[in-house]
Amino acid sequence: MRTEIQTGKKVFPRTVSFLLALLMLLGAMSTVGCGKEQVEEPSTVTDAPEETDNYQKDNLPDTLNYEGREFCTLYWNGAPFVEFEPEENATNALSQSVYERNDNVENRLNVVLTWRGIDGDNSHQTKFITYLESTIGSNLHEYDLVASYSMCAGAMAMRGYSVDLMSTDYFDYEQPWWPNELTSQAVVNNKLYFASGDISTNLLWNMYAVFYNKDLMEKLGITDNMATLVKNYQWDWDTMLSLSKDVYVDLDTIPGKSLGDQFGFGIYRVYADALFYGSGFRTVETDSATGELILSPTFGSGDVQSLIVEMLDYFETDDAWYDNGEGWSTKDYFVNDQFLFDLRPLYYAPQVIFAQDTKKEVNFGVLPVPMYYSDQGKYYTSVGFPYSIYSLPIDAKDISCSSAVLECLASEGYRKTTPVVFEQTMKLRYSEDDVVSAMFDVIRENLTFDLGRLFCSSFNKGAYSNATYYLFRTVAIAGNNPNWISIYKGEEGAMADVLDDIYTKLK
Ligand SMILES: [Ca+2]
């Protein structure tokens, strides 16, 4: 039984003073790559006496001791936020928390973490996989753990390079740092070849949420009962449409609807996937009778058709702005009170709302993506692609040790790095405001791990590349095409073939 920790006050101890941590950080920055240079002796500073908060602890035995062995993780360069090693000479809180997480792992398990980054972001996936072939595929035993760009983990598993985590000694899927949906959606034939969650800071930053502008809400005379709506599962599509009605004001000099105006809701086309997943739809699921992977009956359903029609109708009105251009992610319309609701990845807060050159301060809150059905009873959070998925390479020298380090990184990340992501999103200490903290946890705990999304780069046998996200986001929504059933039917056979192939390789 998973321990639910989303309610109640939690305390994030700042276990070492910032200055001390900074000195430790500067002293430990000598690592460059695996097997090249040793990091300095792990610090002996521990925070055990202060870890008496009500955060869930892991079940790793205290007796684990890997006798100072070097533990090498391969990761992808270009991750938007610090996640693996602390940045050199960095004094920011996130980098400090990554340092503390790694330090705790080293001290607890008596390992020396080394890291090697290679090209592997969206445009370098082939390069990353080719490199994996040259090392794991050649059984060189170079790496103990692989942290890849999210789309690469599926390709790695398909090639047979990933260990089934469920069969390893210390991977503990019931812990809160591994999202519920990871094991309910990404397990194939009782095997799980990769994992993510609190272990990846970039996953948390890329979670889609709806920002709402409290200043504008007040100006419009709307009572802010958003937290209650969310808590009571009343935050749904109809509620959002009704709250965003009549918000429109033609503010700029361009007559009629234009981007300089005031809107109830704003969204960029790339983020439209979040509304698909927020509705509980998915592209792939497991056939409960046979255990095989199948295209989800929800994917090609009339319900998706209805959502698309409603979205397109909504975007046509003055209530909503649907942006089909580029550069949306850095725009400050929301900060300037032009949008009541704005669907965004969470990194919008540190990158734009709190950016140093932003002159205006906006009061805002974050909400999960609204449910489509009023009786849905559950929110679902999807994630933009630039985050990490962790895999244990089959040629790792000691699978048991790799399993322990993976679990320990996630567990320590849950207590060290996740609170900092929260603090930098909300400019609040996690313990300061239970309502805001609970909202963040609703978003975080309902992450979806649809295999069609995780393996999207394999779905290329039909008319479209990456069909499992491209069809909805681009062909239907951005293409302003409400004929979902026919779009889906045209691609269904090709997608089913790919899925058969995936299942055959993973089962
Ligand atoms: Ca206008």
- Whether the CB-CB separation of 113 and 71 falls below 8 Å is answered with yes
Same domain assignment for residues 24 and 69? yes
In a domain, 85, yes or no: yes
Same domain assignment for residues 339 and 398? no
In a domain, 324, yes or no: yes
**Residue 110: how many other CB atoms lie within 10 Å:** 14
How many angstroms is it from 366 CA to the middle of ligand 1?
27
The string of pLDDT tens digits covering residues 37-74 is 443 433 333 343 344 455 789 999 999 999 999 999 99
End-to-end C-alpha distance for the chain, whole angstroms: 26
- Whether the CB-CB separation of 135 and 143 falls below 8 Å is answered with yes
In a domain, 157, yes or no: yes
How many angstroms is it from 207 CA to the middle of ligand 1?
31
- Burial of residue 262 (number of CB atoms within 10 Å: 0-12, 13-18, 19+): buried
Confidence (pLDDT) at 91: 80
Confidence (pLDDT) at 30: 37
Same domain assignment for residues 371 and 484? yes
Rounded to the nearest integer, the mean pLDDT of the chain is 89
How many angstroms is it from 266 CA to the middle of ligand 1?
15
- Whether the CB-CB separation of 114 and 30 falls below 8 Å is answered with no
The string of pLDDT tens digits covering residues 375-426 is 999 999 999 999 999 999 999 999 999 999 999 999 999 999 999 999 999 8
List Cα–Cα distances, 382 to 268, 353, 453, in angstroms.
Answer: 15, 21, 10
Same domain assignment for residues 214 and 73? no
Same domain assignment for residues 64 and 165? yes
Domain count across the chain: 2
CATH code where residue 318 lies: 3.40.190.10
Same domain assignment for residues 276 and 184? no
How many angstroms is it from 260 CA to the middle of ligand 1?
6
Same domain assignment for residues 301 and 395? no
How many angstroms is it from 239 CA to the middle of ligand 1?
25
Structural domain boundaries, residue 250: 208-382+472-506
Same domain assignment for residues 356 and 410? no
Alpha-carbon dihedral sign for residues 182, 186, 192, 195: negative
How many angstroms is it from 248 CA to the middle of ligand 1?
10
In a domain, 138, yes or no: yes
Give Cα 74 distance to the centre of its chain. 20
How many angstroms is it from 365 CA to the middle of ligand 1?
26
Confidence (pLDDT) at 34: 67
Helix (H) / strand (E) containing 321: strand 320-323
List strand residue ranges (DSSP E) for 109-262, in order: 111-119, 145-149, 208-213
In a domain, 458, yes or no: no
Same domain assignment for residues 350 and 437? no
- Whether the CB-CB separation of 416 and 230 falls below 8 Å is answered with no
In a domain, 2, yes or no: no
How many angstroms is it from 210 CA to the middle of ligand 1?
24
How many angstroms is it from 338 CA to the middle of ligand 1?
12
How many angstroms is it from 333 CA to the middle of ligand 1?
14
Mean pLDDT of 107-127: 97
Same domain assignment for residues 288 and 275? yes
How many angstroms is it from 332 CA to the middle of ligand 1?
17
How many angstroms is it from 336 CA to the middle of ligand 1?
15
- Whether the CB-CB separation of 337 and 262 falls below 8 Å is answered with yes
How many angstroms is it from 319 CA to the middle of ligand 1?
13
Same domain assignment for residues 173 and 269? no
What is the distance between the alpha carbons of residues 503 and 88, in angstroms, rounded to a whole number? 42
In a domain, 106, yes or no: yes
Same domain assignment for residues 370 and 435? no
How many angstroms is it from 272 CA to the middle of ligand 1?
24
The string of pLDDT tens digits covering residues 332-381 is 999 999 999 999 999 999 999 988 776 778 999 999 999 999 999 999 99
**Does the structure show a pLDDT above 50 at 500?**
yes
Nearest to 369 by CA among 236, 478, 242, 473: 236
In a domain, 6, yes or no: no
